[in-house]
A and B are shown apart, each in its own frame.
Chain A
Amino acid sequence: MKTSNYIAILFVAILALASCKETKSEKDLGTLYQCPMKCEGEKTFDKPGSCSICKMDLQPLSEPTALLADPFEISDTSIFNLTTKWKTEEDQTIELVDLKGKPLVMVMIYTTCKAACPRLVADMRNIAKQIPENKKEDLQYVLISIDPETDTPERLKEFAIENQMDGEQWTFLQGTLSGVREFANVLAVKYKQISPMDFSHSNIISVFNPQGELVHQQEGLGVDNKETVGHILELVK
Chain B
Amino acid sequence: MRTVLRLTYCLALFWTTNAICQSKMVAIQGDTYIPLYGRDSLQVTISDFDMDIYPVTNKEYLQFVKDHPKWRRSAVLKLFADKNYLSQWGSDTALNNNQSLNAAATNVSWFAAKDYCECQGKRLPTIDEWEYVAMANEKLPDARTLKTYNEYILSWYEKPKTFNNEIGSTFKNYWGVYDLHGLVWEWTLDFNSVLVSGESRKDVDKDSNLFCGSAAIGATDLMNYAAFMRYAIRGSVKARYAMKNLGFRCVKDKKRSTDENL
Q: Which residues of B contact A115 (CB under 8 A)?
A: 208, 212-213
Stretch at the interface among A127-135, A154-162, A186-194: A186-194
Bound complex: CA A202 to CA B92 (Å): 36
The reply to whether B213 and A77 form a contact with Cβ atoms under 8 Å apart is no
* Mask of A165-191 contacts with B, CB within 8 angstroms, 1/0: 000000000001110011011101111
The reply to whether A77 and B79 form a contact with Cβ atoms under 8 Å apart is yes
The reply to whether B66 and A200 form a contact with Cβ atoms under 8 Å apart is no
Known contacts A19-B18, A77-B78, A185-B239: A61-B69 contact under CB 8 Å: yes
Tell me the minimal C-beta distance from B115 to chain A in angstroms: 10
Most buried by B among A15, A184, A199, A223: A15
Q: Which residues of A contact B211 (CB under 8 A)?
A: 190, 200-203
The answer to whether A12 has its CB under 8 Å from any CB of chain B is yes
Tell me the minimal C-beta distance from A136 to chain B in angstroms: 28
The answer to whether B94 has its CB under 8 Å from any CB of chain A is yes
The reply to whether A176 and B12 form a contact with Cβ atoms under 8 Å apart is no
Number of interface residues of A (CB under 8 A): 54
Q: Which residues of B contact A177 (CB under 8 A)?
A: 259-260, 262
Which of the residues B74, B110, B213 comes within 8 Å of A116, measured between beta carbons? B213
The reply to whether B239 and A32 form a contact with Cβ atoms under 8 Å apart is no
Known contacts A16-B15, A28-B93, A190-B192: A198-B239 contact under CB 8 Å: no
The answer to whether B223 has its CB under 8 Å from any CB of chain A is no
The answer to whether A62 has its CB under 8 Å from any CB of chain B is yes
How many A-B contacts if CB must be within 8 Å? 147
**Closest chain A residue to B217, Cβ basis:** A200
- Interface of chain B residues 173 through 196 with chain A (CB within 8 A): 189-190, 192-195
Tell me the minimal C-beta distance from A196 to chain B in angstroms: 9
The reply to whether A201 and B216 form a contact with Cβ atoms under 8 Å apart is no
Q: Which residues of B contact A9 (CB under 8 A)?
A: 4-5, 8
**Closest chain B residue to A113, Cβ basis:** B212
Bound complex: CA A117 to CA B9 (Å): 67
Bound complex: CA A77 to CA B110 (Å): 16
* Mask of B212-232 contacts with A, CB within 8 angstroms, 1/0: 111011000000000000000
Known contacts A194-B213, A201-B211, A219-B210: A12-B8 contact under CB 8 Å: yes
The reply to whether B262 and A188 form a contact with Cβ atoms under 8 Å apart is no
Bound complex: CA A210 to CA B209 (Å): 29
The reply to whether B213 and A178 form a contact with Cβ atoms under 8 Å apart is no
Tell me the minimal C-beta distance from A26 to chain B in angstroms: 9
Given contacts A194-B40, A195-B41, 20 further A-B contacts (CB under 8 A): A8-B5, A8-B12, A9-B5, A12-B15, A22-B63, A25-B67, A61-B75, A76-B77, A178-B259, A181-B192, A185-B111, A192-B195, A193-B39, A195-B39, A200-B195, A200-B217, A201-B195, A202-B210, A203-B211, A222-B209
A-B contact pairs, 7 of them (CB 8 A): A12-B8, A61-B75, A62-B75, A116-B213, A181-B192, A192-B193, A221-B208
